């Protein structure tokens, strides 16, 4: 038996595109039968876990693609530009087999072996694929509908590379996204449509409509008969529909739609009706379908229809078809055994590998301390401009960041300097902002999206979470180095529940993100420049009160000033008590410490600068030296990042403590508008001072 991992090749388009030759259709038929045989093998004893003993099977998950094979394989054969990108979902294994992922690798993935696409980390049908000179499959997600906006980012990257960067080898490339009918109800689907249609991006969406989202029928998914009926009013979007069990209609429609997208014909949406011949997964026996529905599904089996088409149009006989079926079943069986025996097992040490990029050496220089003190707002603007001059792949975008320069004026003047292709406004969709940034980053660009206020990030939480784990989920094959800028906290006029949220602790719980939270202009420049030159996704939190506040102003530190992440700064030296803080808390602590110094008590202030990673060594050293510690932050108290610090101090420096570790934080309520309520909720200078007095007296 040949080595199918090495011998497996991508499908190619027919040599006679107007009338595909029999050999080409047979290649589609062969791949479809491999996929079908893999699905069926996974449902047999020894693969499928039993209810009595879930650990006895070789698989933990199975999502069959029976009924979806033929449309996906034709699309795979037509996706042959070296810079094509694809967004896939959990039922896309036939497509993956078509673009070159071998049955061995597919089985190794669902068996959670090291030879699989995630090295055993993910569920095995959440695909990714890099192939030199071939299609890039963007790292998929287990979240329904999450594939659309990253694919938009790939499509926009194609447009940027061909138009602005004049990279002619990208001409004709497209992004193709596959999705089920259930995914058309998601935020990501509609966000994608609202981005690609006004801008004419080269993208094709293929909806595989099997009439069910798990057990939920179509009538609960859309108000019309199908999603394509509801999209009839969309301008800038070509709509087509076809039955997946009619190969004679399916191939020319897919051929023409992909060709139109390649030839500047605008976004295409293809609605393909397919039967789902197996339940959602191997626990689902489809009891919600009537006998008539099940029989109708089997009568519309695209694989059987393709066999009939080969007989009728090309004279292929039943013996030939049976031989193909038998050979493909054997191929699937051999790949399954090889994957189980030779796929490899990860070691315990692999569990934490590939969460972040290998640490880069940062040549830290002293900041320029001469000259006019600039605001943090102006410093970030200048740093962005300098890095955009240095790196043509940096793109800045978000709501109102372009012509208006952002509601906080941080991007003021950047669009007029660098043009609308590099600094642009977006629709009011945070899912769309972050999702497209992920696709751009995977493409090789350096996106710098802005979320206008911290609270507005909530609709993008799915994309933010997935971006952080992307490197880990793909076993280090992919990364998404984007810098997500986000204003946080209150401002001069106070706060409110919608614009004054900090919430850094929520982000600290998301694996894979680095988090910067500068307290002054110089640190903001050094951390932002390091983020823009790194290879990890970074959440860059900018406190709104500090944008123009005099206490945060510093001389501009220089055009090459870099600060490493995870290195705290001693803002004020002392020996009586220690305050660990970040962001605006640094200034509240400094004011309180100045009051105490009038009475001869010296408080040391440690500014973490970054939340992930944080400078654990500096925290513990200061605690061991001083013995009394107070943690100050503007985020809510319960499960705030200060609780993590307190736990580490108690666990690793307990014997050095002369007092309990205390916290001054915001209360566990939303930020109020009323000034009296606001003062009662926030960690004010007076509260920090009073708690320090209590700590010093302990």
Domain ranges of the chain: 23-343, 373-555, 569-696
153 in Cβ contact with 435 (< 8 Å): yes
Between helices 187-199 and 148-163, what is the axis angle to 10°? 20
Active-site residue, selected from the candidate residues 271, 499, 549, 587: 499
* pLDDT for 224: 66
Cα(17)–Cα(11) distance, integer angstroms: 14
Cα(498)–Cα(201) distance, integer angstroms: 33
Is 499 catalytic? The answer is: yes
Cα(112)–Cα(60) distance, integer angstroms: 9
Distance separating the N- and C-terminal Cα atoms of the chain: 77
47 in Cβ contact with 58 (< 8 Å): yes
Per the listing, tokens 């990890």 go with: 536
Three-state DSSP class for 649?
helix
**Closest of 98, 156, 153 to residue 127, by C-alpha:** 98
Positive or negative torsion for Cα 98, 100, 103, 107: negative
Topology of 373-555 in CATH? Rossmann fold (3.40.50)
Between helices 22-42 and 302-314, what is the axis angle to 10°? 150
641 in Cβ contact with 633 (< 8 Å): yes
* CB contact set of 220 (below 8 Å; sequence gap of 6+): 213
Topology of 569-696 in CATH? Rossmann fold (3.40.50)
**Closest of 496, 511, 498 to residue 454, by C-alpha:** 498
Architecture of domain 23-343: 3-Layer(aba) Sandwich (3.40)
Q: Which two tokens mark 144?
A: 């329904």
Q: Is 677 left (phi over 0), alpha (psi -120 to 50) or beta?
A: alpha
* pLDDT for 52: 67
Q: Which two tokens mark 690?
A: 């009073």
Q: Which two tokens mark 277?
A: 């011949």
pLDDT along the chain (698 residues), means of 10: 66 94 97 95 77 71 88 97 97 97 96 95 94 93 96 98 97 98 92 96 96 78 79 92 96 98 97 86 75 85 96 96 96 94 95 93 84 97 98 98 95 97 96 98 98 94 97 97 97 88 96 98 98 98 97 96 97 98 98 97 99 98 98 97 98 98 97 95 97 97
Q: How many residues does the chain have?
A: 698
Cα(690)–Cα(688) distance, integer angstroms: 6
* pLDDT for 132: 85
Same fold, 23-343 and 373-555: yes
Tally of CB atoms within 10 A around 286? 16
Rounded to the nearest angstrom, the gap between the alpha carbon of residue 673 and the centroid of all alpha carbons in its chain is 34
Cα(614)–Cα(451) distance, integer angstroms: 23
* CB contact set of 123 (below 8 Å; sequence gap of 6+): 60, 61, 90, 110, 142
* pLDDT for 55: 63
The pTM of this model reads 0.95
Cα angle: 436, vertex 438, 439; to 5 degrees: 65
Per the listing, tokens 């596959």 go with: 178
* CB contact set of 119 (below 8 Å; sequence gap of 6+): 346, 350, 475
* CB contact set of 128 (below 8 Å; sequence gap of 6+): 117, 118, 137, 138, 139, 140, 473, 474, 477, 478
DSSP state letters, 257-271: HHHHHHTT---EEEE
């Amino acid at each position: 038996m040949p080595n199918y991992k090495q011998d497996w090749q991508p499908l190619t388009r027919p040599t006679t595109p107007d009338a595909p030759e029999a050999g080409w259709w047979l290649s589609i038929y062969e791949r479809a039968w491999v996929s079908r045989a893999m699905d069926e093998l996974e449902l047999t004893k020894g693969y499928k876990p039993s209810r009595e003993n879930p650990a006895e099977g070789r698989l933990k998950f199975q999502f069959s693609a029976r009924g979806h094979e033929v449309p996906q394989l034709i699309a795979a054969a037509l996706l042959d530009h070296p810079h094509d990108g694809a967004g896939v979902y959990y039922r896309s294994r036939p497509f993956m087999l078509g673009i070159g992922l071998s049955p061995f690798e597919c089985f190794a993935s669902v068996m959670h072996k090291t030879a699989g696409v995630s090295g055993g980390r993910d569920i095995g049908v959440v695909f990714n694929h890099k192939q030199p000179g071939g299609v890039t499959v963007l790292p998929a997600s287990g979240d329904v509908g999450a594939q659309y906006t990253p694919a938009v980012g790939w499509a926009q990257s194609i447009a940027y590379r061909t138009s602005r960067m004049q990279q002619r080898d990208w001409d004709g490339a497209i992004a193709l996204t596959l999705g089920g009918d259930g995914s058309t109800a998601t935020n990501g689907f509609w966000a994608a449509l609202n981005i690609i249609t006004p801008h004419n991006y080269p993208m094709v969406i293929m909806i595989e409509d099997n009439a069910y989202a798990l057990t939920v029928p179509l009538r609960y998914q859309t108000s019309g008969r199908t999603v394509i009926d509801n999209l009839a009013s969309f301008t800038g979007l070509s709509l087509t529909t076809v039955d997946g069990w009619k190969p004679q209609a399916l191939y020319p429609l897919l051929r023409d739609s992909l060709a139109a997208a390649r030839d500047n014909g605008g976004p295409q949406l293809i609605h393909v009706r397919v039967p789902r011949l197996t339940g959602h997964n191997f626990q689902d026996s489809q009891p919600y379908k009537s006998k008539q529905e099940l029989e109708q599904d089997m009568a519309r089996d695209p694989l059987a229809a393709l066999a009939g088409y080969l007989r009728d149009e090309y004279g292929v006989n039943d013996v030939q078809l049976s031989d193909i079926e038998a050979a493909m079943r054997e191929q699937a069986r051999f790949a399954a055994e090889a994957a189980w025996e030779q796929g490899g097992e990860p070691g315990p040490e692999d569990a934490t590998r590939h969460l972040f990029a290998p640490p880069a050496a940062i040549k830290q220089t002293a900041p320029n301390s001469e000259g006019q003190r600039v605001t943090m707002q102006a410093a970030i603007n200048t740093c962005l401009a300098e890095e955009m001059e240095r790196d043509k792949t940096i793109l800045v975008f978000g709501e109102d960041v372009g012509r208006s320069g952002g509601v906080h004026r941080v991007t003021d003047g950047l669009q007029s300097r660098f043009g609308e292709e590099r600094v642009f406004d977006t629709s009011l969709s945070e899912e769309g902002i972050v999702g497209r940034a992920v696709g751009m980053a995977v493409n090789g660009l350096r996106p710098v999206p802005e979320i206008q206020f911290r609270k507005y990030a909530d609709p993008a939480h799915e994309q933010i979470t997935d971006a952080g784990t992307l490197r880990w989920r793909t076993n280090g094959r992919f990364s998404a180095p984007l810098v997500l800028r986000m204003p946080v906290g209150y401002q001069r006029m106070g706060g409110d529940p919608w614009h004054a949220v900090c919430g850094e602790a929520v982000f600290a719980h998301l694996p894979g993100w680095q988090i910067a939270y500068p307290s002054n202009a110089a640190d903001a420049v050094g951390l932002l420049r390091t983020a823009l030159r790194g290879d990890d996704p970074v959440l860059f939190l900018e406190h709104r009160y500090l944008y123009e506040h005099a206490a945060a102003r510093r001389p501009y530190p220089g055009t090459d000033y870099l600060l490493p992440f995870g290195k705290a700064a001693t803002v004020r030296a002392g020996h009586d008590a220690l305050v660990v803080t970040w962001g605006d808390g640094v200034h509240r602590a400094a004011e309180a410490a100045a009051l105490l110094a009038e009475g001869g008590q010296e408080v040391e202030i440690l500014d973490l600068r970054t939340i992930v990673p944080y400078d654990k060594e500096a925290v513990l050293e200061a605690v061991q030296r001083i013995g009394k510690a107070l943690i100050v932050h503007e985020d809510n108290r319960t499960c705030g990042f200060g609780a993590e610090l307190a736990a580490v101090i108690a666990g690793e420096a307990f014997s050095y403590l002369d007092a309990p570790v205390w916290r001054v934080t915001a209360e566990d309520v939303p930020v109020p508008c009323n000034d009296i309520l606001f003062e009662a909720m926030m960690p004010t200078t007076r509260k920090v001072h009073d708690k320090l007095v209590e700590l010093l007296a302990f």
